[in-house]
Amino acid sequence: MKTEENIITFINNLEAENQDIECKQCKRNLPKDVWSTYSAFANTHGGKIILGITEIKNIKENKFIITGVENPAKVCDDFWTCISNTNKVNYNLLSNKDVQIEEIEGKSIIIINVPEATHQQKPIYLNNVLTNTYIRLNSADVKVNIEQLQILLRNRNLAQDVGLLKNYTIERDLDLLSIQKYRQHIFEHTHDKKYLDMDILKFLIQMGALKLDYNDNKYYITEGGLLFFGKIDAIINRFPHFHLDYFDRRGNNARWNDRVASDDMSFLNLNLMNYFFLIMEKLQSTIKDDFELEKNLIRKSPENLLVILREALINMIVHADYYVSTSSIIVNVYSNYYEFNNPGMMLVSTEEFIKGGNSCPRNTVIMTLFRRLGLSERAGSGGPEIFDFAITNSFKQPQVETNFKETNIKIWRVDVISTYPNLSKEAKLIFTYIDKNGKNKYTAKELKEELKLSKYVFQRAIKELSDTDLIVITGNGRGRAYSKSLTKLELYVGVQKLADRLRMGN
């Protein structure tokens, strides 16, 4: 929003305030509720506060008009005075470039760009009261509840599974069979017999499941070690909300074809290690089934998909917040995609996850135990590999959603058009042509001639694609053009791939 024309266009197209835009009337004085919005944006994903824009609400639609700020310099001074006062706001995230005065149609508005705070800076709260912490939910600034506040405070510590459990013992609380299985996997990875002969205490110390307390010079089970190797009763005692699930929901079964659950007596001591290896077997089986029965679903070797699913599974386990009560670790298998859900928000942004290089695992002990097996050796590589797999195979882009409650990743194994089975063959033909040929825009004449479609069939198919938001229509008359709809995530992935090609000189 650098020019008057851009800002006017933005305001005219603004239908409602949303997660990252907040407009406030501000004739003479700084609105009091600007601070709850500042806190909410800082604690969520950032956003813009625009002072001098008034929202007019009616039954049919919301409308925004420029009412202006009469003395913008004074309002800005008041803003800087307050935000610099730690009794008002505990942390100032802004610099001069983040607050700008713009002249629009002869009126002044103030644009305040609020970045997201780092996890170490959160929570951003008001009036020296920790519970005066806000988050952004859609277009509302909402005061956090106790559990949300605890999450913000807990996320300051990027290693949540390193706590020492001084009242827990190897013999009583860890599953010795799980440790033996892990020991065998270590041997198969390293081909070093010393790991088979090593006594159990020394082995667990070397793997990182036990840590030294320098105060009493004794080794204790870590929280990550308990989650990974523990007996289920011991895990639940420490983590009351611990729950692992897996569903195979392929086909038309109203419930599921197969299920694994940590509270099912069929799966004794389903700790994280046992869960990982069991679910990998289940996932491998689903790929084999589909590769044999529905070869169009898997265009490359099924082993490539299995590697991606392994990365997603490990990512889900090592980034989960095992203290959160509102969600569980769940893997769902559907006919067209896999879904990985873990409690807790992702500690990196979606863009950082796609770009890679910054892993930021919530559970460093668990991550170390996976790396000892030669899994996830490159920090922050899982996200790029997941998205590269989709691009290479022309599959629908993975979907990543994260909030205070949970993180959800969907990995598709079909192209976009296959997720809309009810489209006509002509609509599918048009979309596939637009998708595959790489141009930004196509004219009606070009599409009709190239695909040999009548005017009536073309218009009917275009309406289908527009109604399902698969294409965007711009312009009018002969200037009308058609292009593929892209989500913010897809646009970012495209920019990243272009930047990579330019960096490599291609």
Least confident of 163-177, 222-236, 376-390: 376-390
pLDDT at 175 over 50: yes
Tens of pLDDT, residue by residue over 110-157, are: 999 999 999 999 999 999 999 999 999 988 999 999 989 999 999 888
48 within 8 A of 128, measured Cβ to Cβ: no
Confidence grade of residue 222 (pLDDT, cut at 50, 70, 90)? very high
* Average pLDDT of the residues of the chain: 87
Tens of pLDDT, residue by residue over 274-294, are: 999 999 999 999 987 554 444
Q: In what order do the strands lie in the sheet with 21-24?
A: 21-24, 47-51, 107-114, 99-104
- Which residue has better confidence, 336 or 1? 336
231 within 8 A of 269, measured Cβ to Cβ: yes
- Which residue has better confidence, 16 or 112? 112
Tens of pLDDT, residue by residue over 417-471, are: 888 889 999 999 998 888 887 677 888 888 888 899 998 999 999 999 989 888 8
- Whether pTM > 0.85 for this model: the answer is no
Q: Is 82 exposed, middle or buried (0-12, 13-18, 19+ CB in 10 A)?
A: middle
d(CA 444, CA 42): 45
Q: Which two tokens stand for residue 368?
A: 């170390």
pLDDT at 408 over 90: yes
pLDDT at 73 over 90: yes
Q: Which residues lie below 8 Å from residue 295, measured CB to CB, with a gap of 6+? A: none
| Helices 302-318, 272-293: inter-axial angle, 10-degree rounding | 150
Q: Which residues lie below 8 Å from residue 202, measured CB to CB, with a gap of 6+? A: none
d(CA 242, CA 329): 8
Q: Which residues lie below 8 Å from residue 230, measured CB to CB, with a gap of 6+? A: 173, 174, 175, 269, 271
d(CA 503, CA 349): 23
